[in-house]
A and B are shown apart, each in its own frame.
Chain A
Amino acid sequence: MRQHQKSYGVKTVAACLLLLVGTTAAAEYADIILNKLSEKEGMRPVIFSHWFHRIRFQCRVCHNELRFEMRVGSTDVNMDDISQGKFCGACHNGEIAWTTENCDLCHTGAPGLSTGVRGGHQTLGPGIW
């Protein structure tokens, strides 16, 4: 009887953990993590909220005029370029949007994230394909 209860307890804990793991990977669709340089330089990874920016700008502004490649991670973006008004710095200049002095508004990622598009599919489990 007691052994039974114990094994149920273990199962419940395992199920709770599973639930926790299942609910944590729920990034917004099209959230983009940029971590090619950030953590190497001692900063949190950058999370670019694609959904937030597309409300304000058409795709072509960033993916044509600002020279962001369509493939995530294929454009090297560093702070020098940004402060010279390239890439993010074209808008994050204190006129269109807040300046790059607000480091922690972009560098918000949890440690250890790899560069890529997140939030992918509707399912929390394995891909439906």
Chain B
Amino acid sequence: MVGSKLCAPLTLSLGVAALVAMLAPAPYASAADPNAFNRLMTPPSKRNPPPTEDGIHDPKSTGTQGLQTPREAFDPLPKAQSGNYIDWVKSFDEQKIQPRFDRNDPKAKPVIMDLTIVREVKGSMPDVVFPHKQHTEWLDCSNCHPALFVPQKGANQMSMASIMLGESCGVCHGKVAFPVADCRRCHNQAKGKPAPTKTSAVSKGKK
């Protein structure tokens, strides 16, 4: 008797809740469901949040409200699966962005060095092909040499552990350049195959 009295409003409220759930857009797997899929992954709807919602900007500051949102800036750029979810190299190659080489001169161009370095890796992963081309499109030689990498074959010992701790490649990759979770963007040369010495030989005749 008491049970049925309690049950009626409960059933009603459950019904209303179900109706609301049906009408509202399907929520992304919330933390309330402990067995949700991709529990730790950033859902697409939560990527590139606007400054007012990203948790580090002070939303009360008028300056914050005036800032451009990453989504707006990234809209015309080719997408990727990690980092900013932008393929910066492709954006550069397709001239969707034209980052200046010289801060005052929009026409100045960098001297590009097209030389790939193959690093044979010890583990079962494919070998690493390091393209100087894509790096010299952004960076100066002195950003890496000789402090991070001695420009001499075999002189640079490194491991994924040290990279993840922010050394060698990890100075940029994992912080501002694409993260190390994108294994195959570096480990992309099948073992035992002769490696190309120029990026242009690999990049399907681009440029």
Interface string of A11-23 (1 = CB under 8 A from B): 0100110110011
Tell me which of A44, A96, A122 has the highest count of chain B C-beta atoms within 10 A of its own C-beta: A122
Binds A, one of B57-65, B185-193, B194-202: B57-65
Q: For chain A residues 79-94, which have a beta carbon within 8 Å of chain B?
A: 90-91
B164 close to A (CB within 8 Å)? yes
Are A49 and B46 neighbours in the complex by a CB distance under 8 Å?
Answer: no
Q: A122: which B residues are within 8 A, CB to CB?
A: 41-42, 82, 179, 181
Q: For chain A residues 4-61, which have a beta carbon within 8 Å of chain B?
A: 12, 15-16, 18-19, 22-31, 33, 44, 47, 49-52, 54-61
Give B contacts to A, CB under 8 Å: 6, 30-32, 39-42, 46, 48-49, 51, 53-58, 61-64, 66-68, 70, 73-74, 82-86, 88, 97, 99-104, 110, 137-140, 142-143, 164, 171-172, 174-176, 179, 181
| Given contact pairs A58-B137, A60-B140, A104-B61, A123 touches B55 in the complex (Cβ within 8 A) | no
How many A residues have CB within 8 A of the partner chain? Answer: 62
Q: A26–B114 Cα gap in the complex (Å)?
A: 37
Are A121 and B179 neighbours in the complex by a CB distance under 8 Å?
Answer: yes
Are A26 and B42 neighbours in the complex by a CB distance under 8 Å?
Answer: yes
Closest 3 CB pairs of A and B: A104-B63, A24-B55, A125-B40
